[in-house]
Amino acid sequence: MKLRWAAARLVALFRKRNLDRELEDEVRAHLELAERDAIARGLTPEEARQAAQRSFGGIEQMKEDHRDRRSVRWMENLARDFRYGVASLARDPGFAAVTIGLLALGIGANTAMFSIVDAVLLKPLPFPEPERMVRVWETLPNSLGNATTTLTFLDWKRQDTIFEALSVELPTRAAVATGGDPARFPGNLVSADYFQVFGVKPRIGRTFAPGEDQPGAAPVVVLSYSFWQTRFGGDPGVLKRDLALDGEPHRIIGVLPAGSFDRDEAVFWKPLIFAPDQLNRGPHWLVVVGRLRAGVSLEQARAKMTVLRASLAGVMPPWKKDWGFAVDPFAQELVGDTLRRSIYLAFGAVLMVLLIACANVANLALAKGATRRKEMALRAALGASRGRLIGQLLTESLVLCLLGGVAGVAVAYLLLHAAAPLVAASLPFTADLSLDLRVLGFAAAAAMAVLILAGLLPSLRTSFSKLSNSLNQAARGSSGSSAAVRRTIVVGEVAVSVVLICGAALLFKSLAQLQQVDAGVRIDHVITMSADLPSTAYPSAESAARFYEAVVQRLRAVPGVEQASVSLDLPLQGVHYGEGMSLPGVKGFLVVRVKLVDSRYFGTLQIPVESGRGIEGRDRAGAPPVMVVNRELARHMSGSFAMANPVGRIVNIDLPGYGPIPESTANVRIVGVIRDERTGELHAPQDLVAYVPLAQVPRQDIKLVVRTRSEPAAVMSGIREAVRQVDPRLPLADVRTMEQVKERSMLWAKQPTWVVGAFAGVAALLAALGLYGVLAHAVTEQRREIGIRMALGARPGDVVSHTLRSAFSMLVVGLAVGLAGAFALTRVMKSLLFKVSALDPIALAVACLLMTLIGILAAWIPASRAARVDPMTVLRDEG
Amino acid sequence: MLTANMSEHKTEVPYGTLDLLILKTLDTMGPMHGYRIARRIEQVAENLLRLNQGSIYPALIRLEQQGWIRTQWGVSETKRKVKFYSLTRAGSKQLTVEVANWERAKALVARFLEAES
């Protein structure tokens, strides 16, 4: 009943005009009938009309009563306040613009950031039953996940009580010749049930059938939607066509739906078919993704895999006896710890910016409220209730928040558009950054929170302070308690800004530390690129070795090139191969990274040989196998194998074969020790690296490293031409200077640093704005006082220092509170800091100094204005 | 002159009873328009009551919003389109409630008056 009544009233509100007209009609009919009856009783028409109206009573009063009864009073009030609010904002466009701008900035930045948080951390993966998707690893004794071997993968794949589907995922590249320059495209080699793992149905055609990853199956390929659109114009006829990958035709059997897989690097997927001699437990080359059988929990899967590992103990090499198997949720692996922390950190920072923006808006509203006290007092005197006054002020805030929210969504849209290309590489491919309903809902919630934070306090203050006093008060005179509230708000703003600036200072210091890590190589004037020697053109190890020799000769002949080399891995990007190394006749082994480089690699990157010799031209195929170790490995060998000097010793190690040829164990002589280069990321511990001559162990997926005399970009066309002369059909990819490689390796640290830094900058500016506002207001209100003091002999310097002291007192309290907050909060970023304590005194001191400087700058303008007050003018004005 | 004199002996509609009068009228007379409802109340009251006929309209809209009466469009004796009001099922239930309330109130007041005398 209640509900029905409320609904009827709401309907009445919107049908106001209709209902008024209906009532009008009813009244007219009523009067007519009354007149007719009166005439029937024998009255004249004129008397009858008067009698009818008399017995009806007051028509207008009845109408008002009728409206009151049928409608919702507060809604009509709200609508009126809303119109009034818009009008009052239009009267003060400066205030409105500043406020809406602040809110748009705060809400916009938060909305954009939330869209990232939502896409990466909150939304479930865009696949059916994502909680069943897992990564399966072998694990090192330190429980770090590692890729697995062919036979171990096949052992896993037989566990059909655990896994519904299990697939390898091996990134590859292939030259796709479709007219013009050959270009290499990234793809994935996968098992036939790969798309069952993701639960993805093709947009057209089909995905792989069981058996298509077995030897003898016809070559097939599945394309991504975006590749299908850009390369084939979305032609459904592609299903009857072949795609040449490295010159080998593959039948196109299907195209994936648009979405997640378009953000993946790969544009094509083809089955990985194991060659007979790959069926071993040698190279750890397979990364595995799977879908648990329905009803199998993660714990059950882990337990069963542990049992399986124990049963395989007999076939595993002895150096892996402490290794295990691990099953991890796919989502967890997709979003690394560092990314998760970075995103939370950035979100926390942007929330603080919103808080400061709110504080500024509240401050503005308070200042405006002070000037409106008389209006409010007058309205109260005329009978408006306090509730109505608060309601009116809140409605004005609501108008501001709505406009700010709408502008904020526009800001978020622009921010996302600008930022998406920059951050996309750091986000998982499943993250779809868009302003969907959830994000808009967040924006609305943020606007509401702002309304409560920034609107409620000023309206309460304005309407509850003694209104009668305001009426009695003379035009001048500051409202003391309101000023105190405004100063407190500014102190809060300064405190929050200090927390942010401290966080940013710590991150910047950490980044500087990271940048100072010696890469161990000279990175200036070095350009790198990658190439993949297709098996069709380079079927044998010899043909590949001939290519390395020829391409380096050509490159060195290019004008402007100082040195050129070929290797498998670049510095800072990690080393592909890891193997167990042992000494004949000595117990124990070391797990080392095996880096394949040619004879000029150390020279090109200027890595000095510390003892023995480097890799030389004579270390070619057929010559005695040799290796060079880095200082770190030499140090570990002296520890593990108790040898003073490793040079000259012979070690046992597995080395990869060419193409599908499996790895084989070799006895290799250590001929030298080189100084450490940073093979992995700058913050990671130094790898133990064994350098093996590429000429003795050739591979197809190589990097070219070229040192130039002048700007590398100027030499690039010569480099391309040189490679073309050796192999006109070999495409080059990933052309980057070594400096760019270094930049990329630091992306994980740079992005949060700059994001938090930017937010801290905005926060400091907003706090400065708040400080400026309060001081400027105070100076305006105290002009008379200042004038009198100057008339009595105060010098301009005294006046300036008076204002600055007031600013300083706010700053000092803000700094103290902010530092306390920083002590409590910077702890959460510990894991993002490199060689910097979360309480680093220098960073915190710099942060405080910065805030103080910004604060004093903000105070200087009102202070100097105070000093320019002309006592004569002021005293005459107000006298 | 005469009407003015008479009106001094008329009473106002007792507070809160207009709803009851309207519901009872519709219950006995069936659907009717506003003027007829007002006239019927006046006739039953036999000039004992001073009713501003207009005051029934705010009461009617409220009863309608409560769901106790419903309206239909019809044509008046003067060939005008008017609203005809009639009792809903919820309305007749409400009528018994209101009657019971009234009886209780009357009994209560009566008891007080007896005790006083």
Nearest to A295 by CA among A132, A126, A124, A127: A132
A839-876 CB burial, b ≥16 within 10 A, e <16: ebeebbebbbebbbebbbebbbebbebbbebebeebee
| Same-domain check for residues A356 and A461 | yes
> How many Cβ atoms from other residues are within 10 Å of residue B83's Cβ?
21
Taking chain B, what is the end-to-end CA distance rounded to the nearest angstrom?
A: 38
Nearest C-alpha in A relative to B75: A29
Work out how many CB contacts closer than 8 A connect A with B. 87
pLDDT of A466 higher than 90: no
Q: What is the per-residue pLDDT across A756-809, written as a single tens digit (0 to 9) for each?
A: 898 898 888 888 888 888 888 788 778 888 888 888 888 888 888 888 888 889
Q: Which residues lie closer than 8 Å to B40 by C-beta, 6 or more apart?
A: B25, B29, B32
Q: What is the per-residue pLDDT across A352-375, written as a single tens digit (0 to 9) for each?
A: 998 898 888 888 877 777 667 777
DSSP SS3 for A670: strand
- State yes or no: pLDDT of A813 exceeds 90: yes
Q: Which residue of B has its CA nearest to A1?
A: B66
Task: Say if residue A90 is in the same domain as residue A182.
Answer: no
Q: What is the DSSP string of A103-165?
A: HHHHHHHHHHHHHHHIIIIISPPSSSSGGGEEEEEEE-TT--EE-B-HHHHHHHHT-TTTEEE
Nearest CA distance, A31 vs chain B (angstrom)? 8
Asked whether residue A618 is domain-assigned, the answer is yes
Q: Cα torsion for A809, A812, A815, A819, to the nearest 10°?
A: -140
What is the token pair recorded at A751? 């992005």
pLDDT of residue A268: 94
ipTM score of complex: 0.83
Instruction: Please give the helix or strand (H or E) that residue B60 lies within, else none.
Output: helix B56-66
**Quick check: A878 pLDDT over 70?**
no
Q: What is the SS3 string spanning A840-875?
A: CHHHHHHHHHHHHHHHHHHHHHHHHHHHCCCHHHHH
- Please report which confidence band the pLDDT of residue B3 belongs to, taking 50, 70 and 90 as the band edges: very low
Cross-chain CB nearest to A30 (options B34, B51, B66): B34
Task: Count the neighbouring beta carbons within 10 Å of the beta carbon of residue A40.
Answer: 9
Give residue A32's identity as a one-letter amino acid code: E
Contact A33 B76 (CB under 8 A): yes
Decide if A846 is inside a domain: yes
Domain count, chain B: 1
Give the CA angle between residues A10, A12, A15 to the nearest 5°.
Answer: 120
Q: A670 and A753: one domain?
A: no
Distance from CA of B95 to the nearest CA of A (A): 15
Dist CA A775 CA A804 (whole Å): 9
Across A220-224, average pLDDT: 95
Q: Residue A639 in contact with residue A602, Cβ under 8 Å?
A: no
Interface contact B53-A58, CB threshold 8 A:
no
**Interface probe with B: pick from A55, A59, A67, most Cβ of B within 10 Å:** A55
Distance CA A420, CA A59 (A): 65
In which domain, by residue range, is B50 found?
2-116
Nearest to A689 by CA among A592, A599, A608: A592
Domain assignment present for residue A566? The answer is yes
In this structure, are A151 and A90 located in the same domain? no
pLDDT confidence of residue B6 = 42
d(CA A705, CA A525): 10
A30 to chain B, any CB pair closer than 8 A? The answer is yes
pLDDT in tens, B19-46: 888 999 999 988 999 898 988 888 888 7
Confidence of residue A615 (pLDDT cuts 50, 70, 90): very high
Residue with the bigger pLDDT between A28 and A5: it is A28
The most confident of the ranges A156-165, A236-245, A445-454, A463-472 is A156-165
Q: Would you call A36 an interface residue with chain B, using a CB distance cutoff of 8 Å?
A: yes
For residue A3, the chain B residues in CB contact (below 8 A) are none
Q: Is A29 on the interface with B (CB under 8 A)?
A: yes
- Comparing CA positions, the residue from A595, A596, A600 lying closest to residue A562 is A600
Indicate if the pLDDT at residue A685 is higher than 90: no
Interchain contact, A36 vs B78, CB within 8 Å: yes
> Average pLDDT of A249-277?
90
CATH code of the domain in which B62 resides: 1.10.10.10
Task: Measure the CA–CA gap between A455 and A401, rounded to whole angstroms.
Answer: 9
Whether residue A649 contacts residue A565, with contact meaning beta carbons closer than 8 Å, is answered with: no
A463 vs A217, which has greater pLDDT?
Answer: A217
The predicted model gives A59-70 an average pLDDT of 78
Distance CA A486, CA A360 (A): 9
Same domain, A191 and A92: no
Q: What's the pTM value of the predicted model, to 2 decimals?
A: 0.72
Beta carbons of A27 and B54 less than 8 Å apart: yes
3-state DSSP call for residue A214?
coil
Cβ-Cβ contacts under 8 Å for A788 (sequence gap 6 or more):
A871, A875
B68 to chain A: nearest residue by CA?
A1
Mean of pLDDT values over A830-837? 87
Nearest alpha carbon to residue A354 among A485, A445, A450, A457: A450
Q: Do B65 and A28 touch (CB under 8 A)?
A: no
CA dihedral A229, A231, A236, A239 (to 10 degrees): -130
Q: How far is B114 from chain A (nearest CA, A)?
A: 37
Chain mean pLDDT for chain A? 86
In a domain, A761, yes or no: yes
Asked if residue A255 lies in contact with residue A205, where contact means CB atoms within 8 angstroms, the answer is yes
A8 and B CB contact within 8 Å: yes
Q: Which residues contact A685 (CB under 8 A, 6 or more apart)?
A: none
Interchain CB contact of A315 with B (< 8 Å)? no
Percent of chain A with pLDDT over 90: 37
| B35, B62, B90: residue with CB nearest A69 | B62
Query: Closest Cα of chain A to B107: distance in Å?
Result: 29
**CB A68 to CB B39 under 8 A?**
no
In this complex, is the C-beta atom of A25 within 8 Å of any C-beta atom belonging to chain B? Answer: yes
- A268 and A220 Cβ atoms separated by less than 8 Å: no
Whether A649 and A561 map to the same domain: the answer is yes
If pLDDT is split at 50, 70 and 90, which confidence band does A474 have? very low
Range of the domain at A45: 2-71
Per-residue pLDDT tens over the stretch B74-117: 888 888 888 899 999 988 998 998 899 888 988 988 888 887 65
d(CA B15, CA A321): 95
Contacts of B39 in chain A (CB under 8 A): 37
A281 & A365 share domain: no
CB contact under 8 A, B61 and A27: no
**Cβ contact B54–A9 (<8 Å):** no
At A195 the pLDDT is: 95
A27:B57 CB<8 A: yes
Q: For residue A35, give the chain B residue with the closest CA.
A: B78
Question: A57-65: which pairs have CB atoms within 8 A and are 24 or more residues apart?
Answer: A57/B52, A57/B53, A57/B54, A57/B55, A58/B52, A58/B54, A59/A27, A59/B54, A62/A27, A62/B52, A62/B54, A62/B55, A62/B57, A62/B58, A63/A20, A63/A23, A65/B55, A65/B58
Q: What is the mean pLDDT of residues A676-695?
A: 90
State the total domains in chain A.
Answer: 5
Per CB-CB distance under 8 Å, the chain B contacts of A28 are 80
pLDDT at A879: 43
Indicate which of B10, B61, B88 best probes the interface with A, i.e. most A CBs within 10 Å of its own CB: B61
Nearest to A399 by CA among A99, A621, A117: A99
Residue A478 lies in a domain: no
- The residue of chain A nearest to residue B54, with distances taken between CA atoms, is A56
8 Å CB contact of A36 and B55:
no
Packing angle, helices A457-464 and A480-516, rounded to 10: 160
Strands (E), A25-87: none
Mean pLDDT computed over A302-319: 91
Q: Which of A33, A56, A68 sits opposite B78 (nearest CB)?
A: A33
Give the pLDDT confidence of A843-876 residue by residue, as tens digits: 999 999 999 999 888 888 888 888 887 877 777 7
Evaluate whether A197 touches A289 at the Cβ level (below 8 Å): yes
Which of A65-69, A176-180, A260-264 bottoms out in mean pLDDT, i.e. has the lowest? A176-180
Which chain B residues are Cβ-neighbours of A69 within 8 angstroms?
Answer: 58-59, 61-62, 65
Nearest CA in chain B to A23: B57
Neighboring chain A residues of B81 at a CB cutoff of 8 Å? 25, 29
Q: Is A4 on the interface with B (CB under 8 A)?
A: yes
- Contact A12/B at CB under 8 A: yes
Nearest to A700, CA basis, from A531, A533, A568, A548: A533
Q: With a cut of 60, say whether residue A630 has pLDDT above it.
A: yes
Residue A132 contacts residue A291 (beta carbons within 8 Å): yes
pLDDT at site A604: 94
User: Pick the residue with more confidence: A104 or A434?
Assistant: A104
A28 touches chain B (CB under 8 A): yes
CB within 8 Å: A70 and B65: yes
> Is B55 close to A69, i.e. CB distance below 8 A?
no
pLDDT confidence tier of residue A22, bands split at 50, 70 and 90:
confident
Domain shared by A559 and A679, yes or no = yes
Q: Where are the alpha helices (DSSP H) in A143-287?
A: 150-157, 194-198, 225-232, 260-263
**Which of A439-448, A657-666, A743-752 shows the lowest mean pLDDT across its residues?**
A657-666
Q: Please determine, for residue A707, whether its predicted confidence score (pLDDT) is greater than 80.
A: yes
Residue of higher predicted confidence among A459 and B31: B31
Residues 6+ apart with CB under 8 A from A657: A663, A664
Tokens 């007829």 label which residue? B36
Side-chain half-sphere of A780: how many Cα atoms within 13 Å?
Answer: 11
What is the per-residue pLDDT for A450? Answer: 84
Distance CA A782, CA A788 (A): 10
Strand segments (E) across A380-458: none
A539 CA to centre of own chain: 44
Question: Residue A471: its pLDDT value, please?
Answer: 56
**Span A524-552, pLDDT tens digits:** 999 999 988 888 889 899 999 999 999 99
**A120 and A257 both lie in a single domain:** no
Q: Round to the nearest angstrom and report the end-to-end CA distance of chain A.
A: 66
Indicate the helix (H) or strand (E) that contains A169: strand A163-176
- The Cα of B116 is separated from the nearest Cα of chain A by a number of Å equal to 38
Q: Distance (Å, rounded) from C-alpha A175 to C-alpha A243? A: 10
A30 neighbourhood in chain B, CB within 8 Å: 33-35, 38, 53-54
Interface probe for A, chosen from B53, B75, B88, B93 (most Cβ of A below 10 Å), is B53
Tell whether A484 is within 8 A of chain B (Cβ). no
According to the model, what pLDDT value does residue A477 have? Answer: 44
Amino acid at A751: Q
Instruction: Identify the band that residue B8 occupies on the pLDDT scale cut at 50, 70 and 90.
Output: very low
A510 and A566 belong to one structural domain:
no
Distances (CA, A) of A455 to A79, A180, A790: 18, 63, 38
Distance of residue A386 Cα from the nearest chain B Cα, in angstroms: 29
Strand intervals (E) in B1-110: 11-12, 32-33, 49-50, 69-75, 81-87
Specify the pLDDT at position A181.
58
Instruction: Pick A57's closest partner by Cβ from B39, B52, B67.
Output: B52
| Residues A587/A661, Cβ–Cβ less than 8 Å | no
Report the gap between the CA of A4 and the closest CA in chain B (Å). Answer: 7
Do A299 and A306 form a contact (C-beta atoms < 8 A)?
Answer: no
Interface test with A, best of B41, B47, B56, B82 (most A CBs within 10 A): B82
- Closest Cα in chain B, distance from residue A52 (Å): 9
Where is pLDDT greater, at B5 or A733?
Answer: A733
In a domain, A303, yes or no: no
User: SS3 of B47, please?
Assistant: coil
Give yes or no for A20 touching B (CB within 8 A). Answer: no
